[in-house]
């Protein structure tokens, strides 16, 4: 915003910094506190007087959660489910996004709207039938079944977000490629996909983070250690063995590290994709 | 590659060339139905994991289905569940709580998000990194978010209690989530933390699309910052705001995750919302029929809301 | 090198008829310019010729072969796009050679062809760069290189110069003309720039609303526009249209303008006999450059409304009855607003149109 007087501008600048600083602290403080807690001895957590800066540091909590529970299995399961979800979305969603982005045909608008409306379906409404159906076909309590369930709400997001990235690649490029001798699918693979590479990565990361974090479907659709993901495992540990705060914090930190790394890498492209998809949609 | 494979697997090279999957796909892509063919894989997936289950869920709401009471069978019971719901006090309470939960969370998140977006949009030096940090909570898992805040607000060792006592706002530590009068409020705070970055993100994108000339013109006309916000920024952001609000409302109504982790609906039923109630009916009581009916009602309410909201925000536009 | 024939080509997108019925025959080596306002269907027609769109009806022949069902790559055409459509992920060399690569041309042969084309267009020093590192003019040259390297039978250009600034555009225009002279390939060239159309085309097809209004060589299009649309579209400032009634004026034919304040114009000598048209309502079309300041024996006299010196000449807007006309007169003209000015019209330079249909009256 443009203000004329210099003093007024200085005032607004100070206010801006104050707002941003406050919000940043609000956002980051819980994370920092969890990190600190994960590095404290249990005795320093449960004390009479609060320790803001830990007097001594330990990695014992990390060792405990990693070795004395099924945490590595949980993380591995989550990894498999996430990877499967991303692959499912990539294969099916890329094609759909391409169709929506590159062609105009009867029914396109309605179909796109359909893919969008699916986002509105309550998770609970879907979880119950999915539970029954997956039990019927033996996919209950399996990592593939869970990934399949995740595509129900992630595939539409994937398609809409990726469509935005495809739209940014000029249509004439494919015309040129076809005249140069590519088939339609050839033009897509050789010209458009490489061009939309960043978008593909960012969209995949977005879906990966969502799958990695998902809790509700996993809680309902997994019943054993064999397929249980980390959010469910961690939550159940809290309930079952009164997990000490330090260990819980360590588990939390471990599981969000992949999220933070991925977020840091593709943050800008991803933000771009989310806004484009949401605003147009 | 194809040659070597053909040597191994039998068919003559020319047959291989005719069957070459890449070439076949290439030919397929030149047909008139290619754009529809592209949709087939995802459509099958959506049909299988979204549409079929949804239809199944609708008809489930008219059936008896209790996994822990197989003796009751799975026959049709008509509107029994809906009638039961009408007389279910917890349902009405959840409905009320859902309204409170969604309204307050959206208002607070919108406010904080707008504040953050306006501040970030000034592009002052050093604020870029803050922009990234502010977005972070949105990408954190509910399970971790829930436990982080449970730790911060813990009645015995919560740091927020400690700070508030030190500053003199509180006499003694408070059990935020155990007190029916503060539980929903505390949960909304956590939700706001988790969700406001989404608004910040969308609103910031919207702000970037407002031409600078408008502000120049307005300040030449003598409009101060507040008036510029009211007369230029908010009207220009209308469609972004509409989209953000509707997406957020859908998210809030549909996902019980955070409340499930923080309070499980308690104490009493003071933080019970529709989605959580439906989930617990299914997950704890295995009463799939009733849970299905609850989620159908939720879905219908959401649809009505979305439709009305889109209409109202469109009408305003003209 | 080849002929191109279109027979009754129509195209609709859903309910929208973009091309009505296009008939066209191009001889070998011709340079056809498709000229028309935005949205009239020029690109659509070009895409249909290229095979990027399928026509709703009609035949397309390149040479003697009907190519309706032939894939773009097998039509032996090359196309240059307005946005150039260079592949952003590939260096210039691969961009130019991609069409040959896709046709399985050997690396050595391909390299030689690419080098040749690049040298011809003076982009041989840029072969290792990505398109993002080129200036607009360089991109344009690369796009042309990509088209000529394959030595196609038919070149298609879709507003290839419209993204360049005025100076570069003039330069590239000359370059294209030189290329055409040298290669002799048949060309279809889309533009909405009439200078490009006049200078480049051996024939011009003026389009409006998916219909070809006139298909003729540039001078005919300019001097004998088929209807008021073509007349108004070509030439700048555009042709003056004066509505009125034809009357006898001594041994000449004159025009009395419409309105409650009629003015008289004496028409110059024309080849055709206008006597048959006497008493008829017409639209008289006169190009601004067909007027001359003439105090002695003016064909018409009006009051000067605006004077606009442009350097090489002076534009004078003249009030004539209830209508205004623009005349392009000599540079050293000393006239002032409010004065009366007499103008004469060059012989054989006028057009008459039917006011209802807008068509030319011969
Ligand atoms: N795929 C499509 N679907 C629907 N309508 C289309 C499509 N492509 C073009 N049109 C419409 O067809 C008409 C002609 O378009 P075309 O691109 O051929 O115009 P043009 O003469 O090339 O214009 P310009 O000079 O702006 O490039 C326009 O009204 C356009 O909106
Ligand atoms: Mg065009």
pLDDT digits (tens, 9 = 90+) for C99-144: 999 888 899 999 999 999 999 888 989 999 999 899 888 999 999 9
pLDDT value of position B113:
93
* Ligand 1 probe mutation, C42, C49, C159, most atoms within 8 A of CB: C42
**Closest residue, chain A, to C102 (C-alpha):** A181
Q: Measured between alpha carbons, how far is residue C54 from residues B25, C70, C157, C188 in Å? A: 20, 10, 18, 18
Q: Measured between alpha carbons, how far is residue A152 from residues A119, A123, B41, C358 in Å? A: 9, 9, 13, 60
C-alpha closest to that of C319 among C228, C239, C240, C232 = C240
**A25-39: b (≥16 Cβ within 10 Å) or e:** ebbeebbebbebbbb
Please report all neighbours of C, defined by 3+ CB atom pairs within 8 A. A
**What angle, rounded to 10 degrees, do the helices at A143-167 and A123-136 form?**
130
For residues C91 and C127, give the distance between their C-alpha atoms in angstroms, rounded to a whole number.
Answer: 7
Establish if A19 touches chain B: CB-CB under 8 angstroms: yes
For residues C22 and C211, give the distance between their C-alpha atoms in angstroms, rounded to a whole number.
Answer: 7
- Burial class of residue C61 (count of CB atoms within 10 Å of its CB; 0-12, 13-18, 19+): middle
For chain C, the domains span 4-233, 240-361
Q: How many CA atoms lie within 13 A of C44 on its CB side?
A: 25
**Closest residue, chain B, to A44 (C-alpha):** B157
Average model confidence (pLDDT) for chain B?
A: 83
Q: Nearest-CA distance from B77 to chain A in Å?
A: 17
Establish if B247 touches chain A: CB-CB under 8 angstroms: yes
- How is the beta sheet containing C203-208 ordered, strand by strand? C77-80, C154-158, C186-191, C31-35, C203-208, C211-216
What share of chain B in percent tops pLDDT 90? 17
* Ligand 1 probe mutation, C44, C46, C55, C197, most atoms within 8 A of CB: C44
**Interchain CB distance below 8 Å, C73 and A191:** no
**Interchain CB distance below 8 Å, A179 and C13:** no
Q: Does the CA dihedral B253-B258-B264-B266 come out positive or negative?
A: negative
Establish if C340 touches chain A: CB-CB under 8 angstroms: no
**Closest residue, chain A, to C100 (C-alpha):** A180
* pLDDT bracket for residue B315 (50, 70, 90): low
ipTM: 0.86
**Cα distance from N-terminal residue to C-terminal residue, chain B:** 62
Chain C residues near residue A172 by CB distance under 8 angstroms: 81-83, 85
Chain B residues near residue A216 by CB distance under 8 angstroms: 255-257, 260, 279
* pLDDT bracket for residue A59 (50, 70, 90): confident
For chain A, the domains span 2-38, 65-280
**Interchain CB distance below 8 Å, A1 and B240:** no
Return the number of CB contacts < 8 Å for A and B.
Answer: 289
Establish if C98 touches chain A: CB-CB under 8 angstroms: yes
Give, using CA atoms, the residue closest to atom 8 of ligand 1.
C44
Helices (H), B30-127: 34-46, 52-60, 80-86, 89-121
Average model confidence (pLDDT) for chain C?
A: 89
Tell me the three state secondary structure of residue C57: strand
Secondary element (H or E) of residue A277: helix A245-280
Q: What contacts B162, CB < 8 A, 6 or more positions away?
A: A50, B173
pLDDT value of position C230:
94
DSSP category for residue C205: E
**What residues are paired with C317 via a beta bridge?**
C306, C326
pLDDT higher than threshold 60 for residue A2: no
Residue linked to tokens 């479907």: A217
* pLDDT bracket for residue B73 (50, 70, 90): low
C186: left (phi over 0), alpha (psi -120 to 50) or beta: beta
- For domain A65-280, give the fold: MetI-like fold (1.10.3720)
Residues with CB under 6 A from ligand 1: A 104; C 13, 16, 18, 36, 38-44, 192
- Residue B31 sits at φ, ψ, to 5 deg, of -80, 170
Give, using CA atoms, the residue closest to atom 22 of ligand 1.
C43
Establish if C89 touches chain A: CB-CB under 8 angstroms: yes
**Interchain CB distance below 8 Å, C14 and A106:** yes
Establish if A137 touches chain B: CB-CB under 8 angstroms: no
C-alpha closest to that of B171 among B180, B162, B158, B179 = B162
Q: How many helices (H) and strands (E) does chain B have?
A: 18, 0
- Residue B154 sits at φ, ψ, to 5 deg, of -60, 140
CB distance B58 to A128 below 8 Å: no
Q: Select from C72, C86, C87 the Cβ nearest to the Cβ of A179.
A: C72
pLDDT higher than threshold 90 for residue C203: yes
**Closest residue, chain C, to A196 (C-alpha):** C89
pLDDT higher than threshold 80 for residue C362: no
For residues C127 and B317, give the distance between their C-alpha atoms in angstroms, rounded to a whole number.
Answer: 52
Q: Select from A178, A179, A191 the Cβ nearest to the Cβ of C87.
A: A191
Question: Distance from the CA of C335 to the center of ligand 2, in angstroms?
Answer: 43
For residues C274 and C269, give the distance between their C-alpha atoms in angstroms, rounded to a whole number.
Answer: 10
Tell me the three state secondary structure of residue C2: coil
pLDDT value of position A278:
58
Q: Which pLDDT tens digit goes with each residue over B34-61?
A: 889 999 999 999 998 888 888 888 888 8
Please report all neighbours of A, defined by 3+ CB atom pairs within 8 A. B, C
Q: Select from A106, A172, A186 the Cβ nearest to the Cβ of C81.
A: A172
Chain A residues near residue B240 by CB distance under 8 angstroms: 279
**What residues are paired with C249 via a beta bridge?**
C252
Report residue A150 as tokens. 């995740």
Residue linked to tokens 């609708």: B58
Report residue C179 as tokens. 């290329």
* Interval B119-137 mean pLDDT: 87
CB distance A104 to C13 below 8 Å: yes
Task: Say which CATH class C4-233 falls into.
Answer: alpha beta
Please identify among residues 15-54 of chain B the ones whose CB lies closer than 8 Å to any CB of chain A: 25-30, 34-36, 38-39, 41-46, 48-50, 52-54
pLDDT value of position B5:
41
pLDDT value of position B67:
74
For residues A229 and A77, give the distance between their C-alpha atoms in angstroms, rounded to a whole number.
Answer: 5
pTM of the model: 0.85
For residues B39 and A116, give the distance between their C-alpha atoms in angstroms, rounded to a whole number.
Answer: 14
Chain A residues near residue C72 by CB distance under 8 angstroms: 175, 178-179
The ligand minimizing its distance to the Cα of C192 is 1
The ligand minimizing its distance to the Cα of A171 is 1
Interface test with C, best of A104, A165, A175, A179 (most C CBs within 10 A): A179
Kindly list the residues of chain A whose beta carbon comes within 8 Å of any beta carbon in chain C. 104, 106, 170, 172-173, 175-183, 186, 191, 194-195
**What residues are paired with C351 via a beta bridge?**
C285
Question: Distance from the CA of C192 to the center of ligand 1, in angstroms?
Answer: 14
Cα-based angle C271, C277, C282 (whole degrees, multiple of 5): 100
For residues C287 and C277, give the distance between their C-alpha atoms in angstroms, rounded to a whole number.
Answer: 21
Domains, in order of start, for chain B = 2-50 (no CATH), 89-317 (1.10.3720.10)
pLDDT value of position B4:
41
Q: Which pLDDT tens digit goes with each residue over A238-255?
A: 877 777 888 888 989 999
C-alpha closest to that of B106 among B3, B220, B250 = B250
**What angle, rounded to 10 degrees, do the helices at A245-280 and A60-67 form?**
80
- How is the beta sheet containing C65-66 ordered, strand by strand? C16-26, C4-13, C57-62, C65-66
pLDDT higher than threshold 90 for residue B192: yes
Q: Which pLDDT tens digit goes with each residue over A142-159?
A: 899 999 999 988 998 899
Q: Which pLDDT tens digit goes with each residue over A188-246?
A: 999 999 988 888 998 899 899 999 999 999 998 888 888 889 999 888 888 777 778 88
The ligand minimizing its distance to the Cα of C41 is 1
Within 10 A of A274 (CB to CB), how many other CB atoms are there? 23
Question: Distance from the CA of C41 to the center of ligand 1, in angstroms?
Answer: 6
Question: Distance from the CA of C11 to the center of ligand 1, in angstroms?
Answer: 11
* CATH number at C240-361: 2.40.50.140
Question: Distance from the CA of C158 to the center of ligand 2, in angstroms?
Answer: 7
For residues B137 and B133, give the distance between their C-alpha atoms in angstroms, rounded to a whole number.
Answer: 8
For residues B215 and B224, give the distance between their C-alpha atoms in angstroms, rounded to a whole number.
Answer: 10
* pLDDT bracket for residue C241 (50, 70, 90): very high
Pairing of strands C281-286, C350-353: antiparallel
pLDDT higher than threshold 90 for residue C296: no
**Interchain CB distance below 8 Å, B25 and A185:** yes
Closest atom of ligand 1 to CA, residue C82: 27
Question: Distance from the CA of C40 to the center of ligand 2, in angstroms?
Answer: 8
Q: Which pLDDT tens digit goes with each residue over B250-289?
A: 889 988 889 998 888 778 888 889 899 988 888 888 888 8
**Interchain CB distance below 8 Å, A176 and C88:** no
Please identify among residues 72-131 of chain A the ones whose CB lies closer than 8 Å to any CB of chain B: 88, 91-93, 95-96, 98-99, 102-103, 105, 108, 111, 115, 118-131
* Interval A128-145 mean pLDDT: 88
Report residue A184 as tokens. 């339609």
* Ligand 1 probe mutation, C43, C45, C49, most atoms within 8 A of CB: C43
């Amino acid at each position: 915003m443009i203000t004329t007087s210099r003093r007024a501008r200085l005032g607004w600048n100070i206010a801006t910094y104050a707002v941003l600083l406050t919000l940043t602290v609000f956002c980051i403080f819980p994370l920092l506190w969890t990190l600190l807690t994960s590095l404290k001895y249990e005795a320093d957590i449960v004390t009479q007087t609060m320790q803001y800066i830990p007097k001594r540091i330990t990695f014992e909590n990390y060792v405990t959660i990693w070795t004395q529970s099924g945490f590595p299995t949980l993380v591995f399961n989550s990894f498999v489910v996430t990877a499967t979800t991303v692959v499912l979305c990539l294969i099916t969603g890329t094609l759909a996004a391409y169709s929506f982005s590159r062609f105009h045909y009867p029914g396109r608008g309605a179909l796109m709207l359909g893919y969008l409306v699916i986002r509105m379906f309550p998770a609970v409404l879907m979880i119950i039938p999915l539970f029954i159906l997956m039990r019927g076909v033996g996919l209950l309590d399996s990592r593939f079944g869970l990934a399949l369930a995740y595509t129900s709400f992630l595939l539409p997001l994937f398609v809409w977000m990726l469509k935005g990235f495809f739209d940014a690649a000029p249509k004439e490029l494919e015309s040129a490629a076809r005249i140069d001798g590519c088939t339609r699918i050839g033009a897509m693979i050789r010209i458009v996909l490489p061009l939309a590479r960043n978008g593909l990565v960012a969209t995949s990361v977005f879906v990966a983070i969502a799958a990695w974090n998902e809790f509700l479907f996993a809680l309902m659709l997994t019943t054993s250690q064999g397929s249980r993901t980390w959010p469910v495992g961690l939550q159940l540990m809290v309930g079952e063995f009164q997990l000490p705060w330090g260990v819980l914090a360590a588990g939390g930190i471990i599981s969000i590290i992949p999220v933070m790394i991925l977020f840091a890498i593709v943050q800008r492209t991803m933000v771009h994709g989310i806004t484009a998809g949401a605003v147009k949609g | 590659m194809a040659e070597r494979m053909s040597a191994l697997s039998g068919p003559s090279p020319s047959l291989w060339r005719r069957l070459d999957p890449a070439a076949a796909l290439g030919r397929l892509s030149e047909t008139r139905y290619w754009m529809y063919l592209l949709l087939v894989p995802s459509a099958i997936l959506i049909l299988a994991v979204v549409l079929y289950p949804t239809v199944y869920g609708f008809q489930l709401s008219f059936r008896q289905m209790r996994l822990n009471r197989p003796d009751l069978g799975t026959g049709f019971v008509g509107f029994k569940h809906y009638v039961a719901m009408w007389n279910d006090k917890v349902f009405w309470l959840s409905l009320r709580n859902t309204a409170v939960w969604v309204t307050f969370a959206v208002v607070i998140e919108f406010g904080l998000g707008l504040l953050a977006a306006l501040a970030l949009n000034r592009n002052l030096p050093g604020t870029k990194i803050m922009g990234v940090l502010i977005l972070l909570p949105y990408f954190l898992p509910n399970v971790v978010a829930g436990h982080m805040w449970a730790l911060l607000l813990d009645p015995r060792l919560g740091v927020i209690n400690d700070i508030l006592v030190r500053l003199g706002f509180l006499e003694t530590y408070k059990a935020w989530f155990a007190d029916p009068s503060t539980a929903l409020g505390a949960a909304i705070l956590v939700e706001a933390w988790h969700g406001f970055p989404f608004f910040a993100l969308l609103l910031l994108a919207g702000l970037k699309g407002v031409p600078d000339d408008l502000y120049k013109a307005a300040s030449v006309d003598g409009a101060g910052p507040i008036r510029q916000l009211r007369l230029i920024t908010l009207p220009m952001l209308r469609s972004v705001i509409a989209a953000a609000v509707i997406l957020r409302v859908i998210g809030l109504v549909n996902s019980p995750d955070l409340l499930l982790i923080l309070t499980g609906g308690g104490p009493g039923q003071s933080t019970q919302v529709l989605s959580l109630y439906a989930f617990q009916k299914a997950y704890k009581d295995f009463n799939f029929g009733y849970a299905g009916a609850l989620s159908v009602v939720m879905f219908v309410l959401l649809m009505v809301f979305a439709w009305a909201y889109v209409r109202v925000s469109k009408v305003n536009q003209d | 090198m080849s002929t191109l024939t279109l027979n009754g080509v129509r195209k609709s997108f859903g309910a929208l008829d973009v091309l009505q019925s296009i008939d066209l025959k191009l001889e070998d080596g011709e340079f056809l310019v498709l000229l028309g306002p935005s949205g009239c269907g020029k690109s659509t027609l070009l895409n249909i010729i290229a095979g990027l769109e399928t026509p709703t009806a009609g035949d397309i022949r390149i040479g003697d072969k009907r190519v309706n069902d032939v894939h773009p790559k097998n039509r032996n055409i090359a196309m240059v796009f307005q946005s150039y459509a260079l592949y952003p992920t590939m260096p210039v060399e691969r961009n130019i050679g991609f069409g040959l690569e896709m046709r399985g041309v050997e690396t050595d042969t391909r390299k030689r062809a690419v080098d040749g084309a690049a040298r011809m267009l003076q982009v041989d020093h840029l072969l290792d760069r990505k398109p993002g590192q080129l200036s607009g003019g360089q991109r344009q040259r690369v796009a042309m290189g990509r088209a000529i390297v394959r030595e196609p039978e038919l070149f298609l250009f879709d507003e290839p110069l419209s993204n360049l600034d005025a100076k570069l555009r003039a330069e590239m225009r000359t370059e294209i003309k030189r290329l055409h002279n040298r290669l002799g390939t048949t060309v279809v060239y889309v533009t909405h720039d009439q200078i490009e159309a006049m200078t480049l085309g051996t024939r011009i097809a003026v389009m409006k609303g998916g219909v070809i209004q006139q298909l003729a060589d540039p001078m005919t299009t300019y001097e004998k526009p088929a209807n008021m649309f073509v007349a108004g579209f070509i030439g700048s400032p555009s042709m003056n249209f004066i509505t009125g009634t034809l009357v006898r004026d001594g041994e000449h034919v004159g025009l009395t303008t419409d309105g409650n304040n009629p003015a008289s114009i004496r028409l110059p000598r024309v080849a055709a006999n206008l006597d048959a048209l006497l008493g008829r309502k017409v639209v008289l079309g006169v190009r601004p450059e067909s007027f001359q300041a003439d105090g002695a024996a003016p064909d018409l006299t009006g009051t000067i409304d605006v004077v606009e010196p442009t350097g090489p000449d002076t534009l004078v807007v003249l009030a004539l009855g209830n209508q205004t006309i623009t005349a392009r007169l000599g540079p050293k003209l000393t006239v002032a607003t409010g004065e009366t000015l007499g103008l004469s019209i060059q012989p054989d330079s006028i057009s008459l149109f039917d006011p209802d249909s807008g068509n030319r009256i011969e």
